[in-house]
């Protein structure tokens, strides 16, 4: 029986040592995860139900919740997994502190991140957005969408999205010996869109560490971006058409006219094939693939070539596919596609002529007298050919679609006119084709 006791004692000792080792590794991994979450989410209360550790190089957090300080609602994540092919990777004081610490891959996977757009912190964001008056231009994606300045999270809620649900994958593949680093990411937003990024960089072998990174001479070898619409474009068309009381086809036409007018105001000369490509890219169910693959890579010379866009474009060797069909980019005048700095500065929205209380005091005019002066003005019919005489006047238009448009006339060019319209968040320029006009009236 003595041998049996000896074996039993050895087994117990092994279990104690193994259990103690696992507990130590688990503690180190938990400390690493907690510190990382504190850095990534400084304004949140973070808690999770379980930490699962695989000593071969994986840590998984299950049922994580992150609530902004001062709020009850939380962003929820089903699980977060961090994997590396190095055993005990998270035991190190700083897993990526030196070149020798890098594994051959590092992967992060986030499953079912959910954010309720009716939560209390989103209510605050919505209230702040409604109360704040923006002084910037409307985001180009929101042109023609009524008073919407950008498709922010509160706007997505108004569009009928009750929550944001996302899956995210990030993978890092460093090869320090051969001087290669590949970073890839893919995110899928349920019912909205999916995006995929791939960045490949070369560097001096053996220099992939924070303390030597500046001497590594990194060069971009490849960059790819892929976008797939999963329902957002169709919902955007419906929502914006309702905001402006037009059909979806009319909204798309107005959006395109506004975008073209803004490009003209910025001094950009965009060929028709690019406008057609843009319209295809924002259509429901569209896919876009953009890539660059500069011969020999692109390093610090990027900053020098930015002053010569046509040379830079040739060096980057760009490719573009829309709905799996390649777009011919040869012969494009890249320099003409860039905004003119002086014209862009002049495009900054200006405040409309509001009544100045201080001036009223100096002129000793009562509010009733001011109102009488305003009442003496009214809208009078005018022809398109007369509009050059009414620049900066308030005008209103009726189109063949039955659409009513009112704003300040800021430009008349060829067969188009441009109005500056007030929206809730600021001002937006609005281009109208002469052929669409039924009636023109000037306030004078």
Confidence of residue 288 (pLDDT cuts 50, 70, 90): very high
Cα–Cα dist 134/148, whole Å: 11
Residue 377: per-residue pLDDT: 65
Indicate whether 20 pLDDT > 60: no
Indicate whether 189 pLDDT > 60: yes
Strand 416-423's sheet: what is its strand order?
Answer: 379-381, 437-443, 394-399, 404-413, 416-423, 426-433
Confidence of residue 359 (pLDDT cuts 50, 70, 90): very low
Residue 375 DSSP class: H
The first and second tokens of residue 23, run together, are: 């507990």
Cα–Cα dist 184/195, whole Å: 11
More confident residue, 402 or 228: 228
What is the average pLDDT across 363-391? Answer: 65
- Percentages helix, strand, coil for the chain, rounded to the nearest 5? 35, 30, 30
**What pLDDT, in 10s, does the model give residues 86-143?**
655 555 544 444 444 567 788 889 999 998 888 887 776 665 554 443 444 578 888 8
Task: Report the sign of the C-alpha dihedral through residues 270, 272, 274, 278, in that order.
Answer: positive
Closest Cα to residue 232, out of 319, 145, 146? 145
Q: Which helix (H) or strand (E) holds 277?
A: helix 272-281
More confident residue, 339 or 146: 146
More confident residue, 102 or 350: 102
Indicate whether 389 pLDDT > 70: yes
Indicate whether 223 pLDDT > 80: yes
Q: Is 402 left (phi over 0), alpha (psi -120 to 50) or beta?
A: left
Cα–Cα dist 51/29, whole Å: 9
What is the average pLDDT across 165-170? Answer: 93
Lowest mean pLDDT of 174-188, 218-232, 364-378, name the range: 364-378
The first and second tokens of residue 75, run together, are: 């962003």
Pairing of strands 163-175, 180-189: antiparallel
* pTM as predicted: 0.67
Percent of the chain surpassing pLDDT 70: 70
What is the average pLDDT across 276-304? Answer: 86
For the beta carbon of residue 398, count every other beta carbon within 10 angstroms: 15
What is the average pLDDT across 254-270? Answer: 83
Strands (E), 21-144: 44-54, 58-68, 75-84, 106-116
Indicate whether 192 pLDDT > 80: yes
């Amino acid at each position: 029986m003595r041998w049996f006791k000896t074996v039993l004692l050895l087994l117990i000792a092994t279990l104690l040592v193994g259990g103690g080792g696992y507990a130590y590794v688990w503690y180190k991994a938990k400390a690493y995860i907690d510190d990382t979450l504190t850095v990534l989410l400084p304004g949140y209360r973070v808690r999770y139900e379980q930490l699962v550790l695989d000593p071969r190089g994986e840590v998984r957090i299950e049922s994580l919740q992150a609530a902004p300080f001062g709020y009850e609602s939380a962003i929820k994540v089903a699980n977060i997994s961090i994997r590396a092919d190095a055993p005990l990777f998270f035991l190190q004081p700083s897993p990526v502190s030196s070149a020798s610490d890098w594994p051959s891959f590092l992967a992060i996977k986030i499953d079912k991140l959910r954010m309720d757009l009716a939560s209390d912190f989103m209510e605050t964001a919505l209230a702040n957005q409604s109360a704040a008056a923006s002084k910037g231009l409307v985001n180009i994606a929101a042109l023609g969408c009524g008073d919407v300045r950008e498709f922010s999270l509160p706007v997505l809620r108004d569009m009928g999205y009750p929550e944001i649900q996302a899956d995210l994958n990030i993978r890092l593949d460093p090869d320090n010996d051969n001087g290669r680093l590949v970073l890839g990411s893919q995110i899928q937003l349920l019912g909205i869109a999916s995006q995929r990024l791939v960045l490949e960089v070369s560097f001096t072998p053996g220099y992939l560490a924070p303390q030597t990174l500046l001497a590594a001479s990194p060069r971009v070898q490849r960059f790819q971006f892929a976008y797939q619409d999963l329902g957002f474009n169709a919902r955007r068309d419906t929502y914006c058409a309702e905001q402006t009381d037009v059909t979806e086809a009319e909204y798309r036409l107005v959006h395109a006219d506004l975008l073209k007018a803004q490009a003209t105001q910025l001094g950009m000369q965009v060929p028709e094939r690019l406008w057609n490509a843009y319209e295809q890219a924002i259509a429901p169910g569209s896919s876009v693939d953009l890539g660059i693959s500069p011969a020999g890579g692109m390093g610090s010379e990027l900053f020098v070539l930015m002053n010569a866009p046509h040379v830079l474009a040739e060096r980057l060797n760009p490719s573009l596919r829309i709905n799996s069909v390649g777009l011919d980019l040869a012969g494009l005048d890249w320099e003409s596609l860039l905004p003119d700095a002086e014209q862009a500065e002049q495009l900054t929205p200006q405040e409309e002529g509001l009544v100045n209380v201080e001036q009223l005091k100096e002129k000793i005019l009562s509010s009733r007298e001011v109102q009488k002066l305003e009442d003496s003005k009214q809208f009078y019919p005018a022809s398109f050919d007369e509009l050059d005489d009414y620049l900066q006047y308030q005008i209103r238009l009726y189109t063949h679609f039955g659409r009513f448009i009112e704003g300040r006339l800021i430009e008349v060019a060829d067969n188009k006119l441009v109005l500056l319209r007030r929206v809730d968040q600021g001002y937006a320029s609005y281009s109208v084709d002469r052929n669409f006009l039924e009636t023109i009236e000037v306030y004078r």
